[in-house]
């Protein structure tokens, strides 16, 4: 089932973001390091290119992602014009402190202290923008939650001498073009649960884990990946974690089993996992293009 999620307040948020972009020197786009391209909103790219604004792409939650995949993504983004990339965990204050200096490199005309360097944080819901704002300002100013779309309006702050920063609401785009992107976003909790079927998302995740991280599955759940398909992984996790339907005669609760697997991935309990690399992304796009030509 294709996943789509575009809450009503995001239309107004996009319009407001376009207005603020006109007064911004550098866009800080926060991505999920585990799925950077899936979590990159194409509308943000359109807005900043229309205004010719440079972009610092922040691969947040890098402590949860596969280090080799993250290194490949940093190299990929650093080749793009007007783009610089950095991997951080915004829960580490020292990581967040690097960002203003990197933004200054992207806007050298703001190094004279005559006019402030104006930065704008953008990204999809639940990638850590609010946690990053709190770390940058060294105080709690933005609400933080483990549900997507906590921030509903823009806020601007002085970030020390000669620097201002604007926090924006998480911004989705109206139509997710590739089904795999929707599932990666749902697995990483960037999409509200009301828009997804947890069992389908967990099965998608299990397929990636079987293909790329079978040893992590085996270590976490004491199972043999070679004997299972994706549905079998979710079922086995449910059996090993006692996910039984109440009053169901011992039947397996697949929704509860799905949430065990998803929660273990999201929290890092499974290990450091990336859902896509530049190579798997290119392969997915090539397959989609071929399918489009033959449709």
Calculate the CA 73 to chain-centre distance. Answer: 13
Task: Report the half-sphere exposure of 245 (CA within 13 A, side-chain side).
Answer: 10
Q: Return the CATH number of 197-288, one of 3.40.50.360, 1.10.10.10, 1.10.1580.10, 2.40.110.10.
A: 1.10.1580.10
Per-residue pLDDT tens, the chain, 295 aa: give them: 556 555 555 667 677 777 888 889 999 999 999 999 999 999 899 889 988 999 999 999 999 999 999 999 999 999 999 999 999 998 887 899 999 999 999 998 776 667 889 999 999 988 988 889 888 888 877 555 444 444 557 788 888 888 999 988 888 887 888 999 999 999 999 887 777 889 999 999 999 999 999 999 999 999 999 999 999 999 999 999 999 998 777 899 999 999 999 999 999 999 999 999 999 999 999 998 888 766 5
| SS3 readout for 257-293 | HHHHHHHHHHHCCCCCCCCCCHHHHHHHHHHHHHHHH
Q: Domain map of the chain by residue range?
A: 9-167, 197-288
Considering only the top CATH level, what class is 9-167?
alpha beta
């Amino acid at each position: 089932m294709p996943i789509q999620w575009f809450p009503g307040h995001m239309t107004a948020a996009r319009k407001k973001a376009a207005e603020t972009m006109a007064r911004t020197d550098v866009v800080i786009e926060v991505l999920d390091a585990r799925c950077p391209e899936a979590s990159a909103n194409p509308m943000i790219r359109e807005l900043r290119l229309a205004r010719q604004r440079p972009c610092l792409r922040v691969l947040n939650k890098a402590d949860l992602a596969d280090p080799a995949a993250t290194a490949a993504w940093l190299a990929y983004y650093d080749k793009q014009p007007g783009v610089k990339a950095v991997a951080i965990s915004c829960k580490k204050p020292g990581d967040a402190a690097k960002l203003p200096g990197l933004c200054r490199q992207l806007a050298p005309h703001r190094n004279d202290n005559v006019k402030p360097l104006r930065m704008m944080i953008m990204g999809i819901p639940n990638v850590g923008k609010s946690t990053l704002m709190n770390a940058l300002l060294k105080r709690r100013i933005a609400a933080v939650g483990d549900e997507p779309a906590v921030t509903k309006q823009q806020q601007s702050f002085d970030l020390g001498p000669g620097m201002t920063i604007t926090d924006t609401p998480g911004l989705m785009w109206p139509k997710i073009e590739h089904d795999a992107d929707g599932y990666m976003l749902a697995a990483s909790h960037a999409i509200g649960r009301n828009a997804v079927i947890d069992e389908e998302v967990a099965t998608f995740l299990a397929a990636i884990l079987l293909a790329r991280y079978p040893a992590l599955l085996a270590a976490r759940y004491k199972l043999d990946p070679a004997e299972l398909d994706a549905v079998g992984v979710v079922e086995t996790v449910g059996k090993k974690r006692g996910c039984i339907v109440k009053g169901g005669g011992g039947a397996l609760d697949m929704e509860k089993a799905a949430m065990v697997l998803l929660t273990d991935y999201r929290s890092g309990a499974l290990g450091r996992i990336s859902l896509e690399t530049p190579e798997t992304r290119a392969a997915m796009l090539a397959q989609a293009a071929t399918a489009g030509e033959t449709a």
